[in-house]
């Protein structure tokens, strides 16, 4: 199954590199003046990071798709539907660097069909 962000079909071989870094538990540890430790923990409902990354020989986007993706990333606070391989739609926003891209082959005048390795920085709401 393809990866789809909003209406853009992305390469299906992008890696979700932080899939198992999220625990779903928000925890705060405080040390009181008398030295006692207080731990507060609750289920975290949202905020799971979804970083999708291509590599040197996989997960490439052509320049036309990259430009469309940049327009999505440039919209402050915009929320999008992301569907990954499991078919579950997720509501996401761009975070951090939003997206980074590097040409697979450098050209002084890139064509629409030239390919780029990308990393998308998203967070599930």
**Residue 28, domain member (yes or no):** no
**DSSP code string of 42-54:** EE--S--EEEEE-
- Average pLDDT over every residue of 46-51: 90
User: Which among 64, 57, 66 has a CA at the least distance from the CA of 105?
Assistant: 57
In this prediction, residue 33 has a pLDDT band, given cuts at 50, 70 and 90, of very high
Question: pTM for this one?
Answer: 0.84
Place of tokens 């509501």: 91
**Residue 77, domain member (yes or no):** yes
How many distinct structural domains can be found in the chain? 1
In this prediction, residue 23 has a pLDDT band, given cuts at 50, 70 and 90, of confident
Domain that holds residue 58: 3-22+37-124
* Residue 90, pLDDT above cutoff 90: yes
User: Which among 63, 73, 58 has a CA at the least distance from the CA of 103?
Assistant: 63
| 46 within 8 A of 52, measured Cβ to Cβ | no
How many residues appear in the chain? 125
**Residue 81, domain member (yes or no):** yes
- Cα separation, 43 vs 38, whole angstroms: 17
């Amino acid at each position: 199954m393809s990866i789809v962000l909003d209406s853009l079909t992305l390469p299906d071989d992008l890696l979700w590199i932080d899939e198992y870094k999220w625990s779903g538990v928000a925890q705060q540890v405080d040390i009181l003046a008398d030295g006692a430790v207080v731990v507060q923990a609750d289920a975290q409902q949202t905020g799971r990071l979804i970083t999708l990354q291509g590599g040197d020989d996989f997960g490439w986007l052509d320049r036309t798709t990259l430009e469309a993706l940049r327009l999505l990333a440039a919209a402050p606070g915009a929320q999008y539907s992301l569907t990954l391989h499991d078919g579950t739609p997720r509501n996401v926003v761009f975070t951090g660097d939003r997206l980074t891209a590097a040409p697979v082959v450098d050209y002084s005048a890139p064509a629409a069909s030239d390919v780029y390795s990308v990393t998308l920085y998203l967070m599930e709401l």
